[in-house]
Amino acid sequence: MQHVDEGLLHAWLDGERAALGPARAEEVRRHLDGCAECRTRLGEARDLRDRADALLRGGSPVGAEIPPFESLAGRVPARRSRTRMLAWAASLVLALGAGWLARGAPDPGEPSARAAAAPRPAPSPAVPSAPAVSAPAGTAVVVPAPAPAVDAATARRAGPRPLPQVAARGDAPPPAAADLAAMEATPVPPPPPPPAAAPPPVAESRAPAPAEAPAAAPPGAAEGDRSGQAARRAERVAARAPSAAGADSAELPAPNYGGTLALEGLVVSGTPTLEEVLGGAVGPDADGWFSVRPEAARRLLGREPLRVRGLPLISVQAGRWEGRAAVRVRQRLEGGGLLSLVQVPDGAKEGGESGDSAVVPDAWDEAPTDHVRLIRQVGAIVVTGSAPLTADSLAALLERLR
């Protein structure tokens, strides 16, 4: 045979004769026996290998301690300790806070309401009355609430003037539907011109149930009270985080629909089954969810899908979660993070325990690998988040959703 090439020499040295195959190994052995030159080269190769090994060992000393195997049991793989972007975290807290605050704001009722209020300055007495549910201002709370909510941008722009909800009650979508109306428009059309004069606030103009909570207080009635502070804070939040605050307005990215739905345009009484909802949808995506129109999700849940106000919406999806029909609302966190709210119809049996779960209702692989991924159960809703910050920080944020 020809001289043994360097790769073969190293394989020979490394004891990888099995990798060569018996015939080849025997060939090499015979050649080395009879070839002084190759034996010399073999010696050189050995020196090279030993020097490289010594460098690798010597330059990379690691302690010999092996932590007990049992210590792995308490380790949740997804919880990787990462600390970054505290400012980002702060902005998320603010955005979540704005979402909460916005829950107490008047419902826009119709798009023109925003425009009507927009030219007005939005001074402190933008006073949506505080919702009946008590929570500290700035705390994000995602719970099934009968009241519709408005985004932070709307709260900011609303100003002291209550919104013309009388107009919305008749032929416009009900307030609960108005929330997701922006999502359904692709692209989002510009709001119509403002009406010449918005109706004055009168008690009768309040929206009917389920829009009872966001009742508007008379202008200036609560100057300086907590709601007033809340509104000011929402305003600051909106100013600091325009991308989040504009989520429901014209900046809303086009929703991600998978296809048309069999239910679309039909009048359906009662709660449809998942199969009915999915009848015409295209999907599923990588983790088994079908993109659906908000209206279908609403019918499936029998209520408004929950979302965090002020965070851009990515998609509304339907699918199965722990054997039940469920809706998943996905929203974009700043810094490329992802928040998912997996929700089942009210009254469906709750599953799982609070806290971390081994079951992942989300396509974790989609998240950048430097993101922390967490899952929390908040009541009947499974909240997952992935974000470029520490597990602890994300956990704290998700905790606030409680």
Partner 1 sequence: MSVDWAEVYRATFLELVRFLHRKVWDEERARDLAQETFARALGQEPDNPRAWLFRVASNLAHDEARLVVRRKRHLTLLRTEAEQAEADAPTPAAEMEAQERTERLRLALERLSERDREVLLLWDAGMSYPEIALETGLSAGAVGTTLARARRRLVEAHLALEEKHAARG
Residues found near partner 1 in the complex (CB under 8 A): 5-11, 14, 16, 19, 45, 48-49, 51-53, 55-56, 58-64, 66-67, 69, 71-72, 75-77, 80-85, 369-370, 390
Q: Which is nearer to partner 1, 52 or 266 (CB)?
A: 52
Residues 167, 169, 171, 173: is their CA dihedral positive or negative? positive
- Report DSSP state, residue 246: G
Confirm if 31 and 24 have CB atoms less than 8 A apart.
Answer: no
What CA–CA distance (Å, rounded) separates 85 from 75? Answer: 24
Query: Cβ 123 to partner 1, closest distance in Å?
Result: 39
Of residues 62 and 267, the one with the C-beta less far from partner 1: 62
CB of 333 to partner 1, least distance (A): 16
Minimum CB distance to partner 1, residue 85 (Å) = 7
Q: Are strands 290-291 and 381-387 parallel, antiparallel or unpaired?
A: unpaired
Of 396, 374, 355, nearest in space to 86 by CA:
396
Which of 68/170 has CB closer to partner 1?
68
Q: What angle do CA 236, 199, 146 make, to 5 degrees?
A: 60
Task: Determine the Cα–Cα distance for residues 144 and 149; give it in Å rounded to an integer.
Answer: 12
Q: How far apart are CA 115 and CA 80, in angstroms?
A: 45
Measured from the CB atom, is 67 or 347 closer to partner 1?
Answer: 67
Per the document, the length of the chain is: 402
- What tokens does 130 get? 């505080």
In this complex, which beta carbon is closest to partner 1, that of residue 89 or of residue 325? 89
User: How, if at all, do strands 372-378 and 338-343 pair?
Assistant: unpaired
* Cis amide prior to 187 (ω within 30 degrees): yes
* CB nearer partner 1, residue 2 or residue 369: 369
Residue closer to partner 1 by CB (options 114, 371) is: 371
The distance of closest approach from Cβ of residue 72 to partner 1 in the complex, given in angstroms and rounded to an integer, is 5
- Compute the Cα dihedral for 346, 351, 356, 359 and give only its sign: negative
Provide the H-helix boundaries in 185-315. Answer: 226-240, 242-245, 274-278, 294-301
Least distance from partner 1 to the Cβ atom of residue 396, Å: 15
C-alpha triplet 177, 179, 185: angle, nearest 5°: 85
CB of 300 to partner 1, least distance (A): 32
Nearest residue (CB) to partner 1, 48 versus 363: 48
Q: Smallest gap, in angstroms, from Cβ of residue 69 to partner 1?
A: 5
Please say which residue, 78 or 339, places its beta carbon nearer to partner 1.
78
CB 82 within 8 A of CB 109: no
Least distance to partner 1, CB of residue 393, Å: 10
Distances (CA, A) of 13 to 18, 50, 159: 12, 10, 81
Closest separation in Å from C-beta 56 to partner 1: 5
